[in-house]
Amino acid sequence: MLRVGINGYGTIGKRVADAVRAQPDMEVVGVAKTRPNFEAERAVAKDYPLYAAIEDRVELFDDAGIELAGMVEELVEESDVIVDACPSGVGEQNSELYAEHDTPALYQGGESAEFVDTSFNARSNFADAVGADHVRVVSCNTTGLSRLIAPLGEEYGVEKVRATLVRRGGDPAQSSRGPINDILPDPVTLPSHHGPDVQTIFPDLAIDTLGLKVPATLMHMHSVNVTLEAEPDAAAVRDLLADESRLFVIPERFDIDGAGALKEYAQDAGRPRGDIWENCVWGESVTTEGSDLYLFQAIHQESDVVPENVDAIRAVANAADAAESVATTDDALGMGI
């Protein structure tokens, strides 16, 4: 059994903990928190040993009547792999701690790509992370684009990707984020950081990305144009994408017109927290004009990176190859909505 610790138990960390627990070859050693908030209360209810991330705050847990299993240093020492899901930038600060304990670590997409051995997407470059010490699981948007580009590149060759990313202003619980009533080019200059980020996975890819931020919390929406090196018909592309376990090609008959209906569907399907781990590609949007492919896809920002973290754990531990790992993760989670 791979022993996995999670440092930072917020939006991403709590989902990764549950996904790790669901795997047949992994166990959660514990999770580290900075404060005894509602998420700490739920971690205790789920029997995750709770570690304090900051020494000065131990008293707060004592006052809340929450028993701690120890300090984060002990969690790191006891783990075969640590998943850092702290706010952007904190992971890099923590990287020294992980190195001191010789514990391989995963970081999230908000971290810089500079200090890690490799960035990671299971479908695209699993092998690059095998045996690595510091691996960054790329952001929700980069994960969504990488999953799409990998099969298109293998099947047809990709000449150029152009993507406009309509991004949610914040996650549902991020009450301080916005905009509340606006539409922001974000950034107003081109390209947005997403294109260069995708190049951490596909270094030679020609890609331009534009970003906007809108008053929404449910999902991101991508409008994608890929110039292929072949001229497939739309039905063939649709079939290719539908064969990918982490791409959900939404059937027209579902009558899903946007992110709201998608989230409703996920809840109806009994997904934990209403999560959608798959890219959601509108089947009717898949259109070809010669070698140009167009489509819309929605990305559930809070959860699409979760299976990727699980695969990255196996990669750094050299515990499976890409196909085995993805199959195990998918089976354990119930991928395929």
Catalytic residues, which ones?
Answer: 140
Q: Which segment (2-10, 198-206, 247-255, 283-291) binds ligand NAD by CB under 6 A?
A: 2-10
Q: Using CB atoms within 10 A of its CB, is residue 257 exposed (0-12), middle (13-18) or buried (19+)?
A: exposed
Could you say which residues in the range 168-187 bind ligand NAD, by CB under 6 A?
Answer: 171
Does the footprint of ligand NAD cover residue 302 (CB under 6 A)?
A: yes
Could you say which residues in the range 112-131 bind ligand NAD, by CB under 6 A?
Answer: none
The residue ranges of DSSP E strands in the chain, in sequence order, are: 2-7, 26-33, 50-52, 70-71, 81-84, 105-107, 118-120, 134-137, 158-168, 184-185, 207-214, 220-228, 247-250, 279-282, 287-289, 292-299
At closest approach, how far in Å is the CB of 15 from ligand NAD? 8
Q: Positive or negative CA dihedral for 331, 260, 219, 210? A: positive
At closest approach, how far in Å is the CB of 327 from ligand NAD? 23
* Spatial distance between the Cα atoms of 29 and 95, rounded to a whole number of angstroms: 19
Per-position x/- string for 81-110, each x denoting binding to ligand NAD as judged by CB under 6 A, each - no binding: ----xxxx-x-----------------xxx
Closer to ligand NAD by Cβ: residue 72 or 240? 72
Closer to ligand NAD by Cβ: residue 112 or 318? 112
Alpha carbon dihedral 38, 41, 42, 47, in 10-degree steps, equals 160
Closer to ligand NAD by Cβ: residue 78 or 240? 78
Closer to ligand NAD by Cβ: residue 108 or 288? 108
* Spatial distance between the Cα atoms of 122 and 119, rounded to a whole number of angstroms: 10
* 65 contact partners, CB below 8 Å, separation of at least 6: none
Could you say which residues in the range 56-85 bind ligand NAD, by CB under 6 A?
Answer: 85
Could you say which residues in the range 246-285 bind ligand NAD, by CB under 6 A?
Answer: none
Chain residues binding ligand NAD by CB under 6 A are 7-13, 32, 34, 39, 53, 85-88, 90, 108-111, 139-140, 171, 301-302, 305
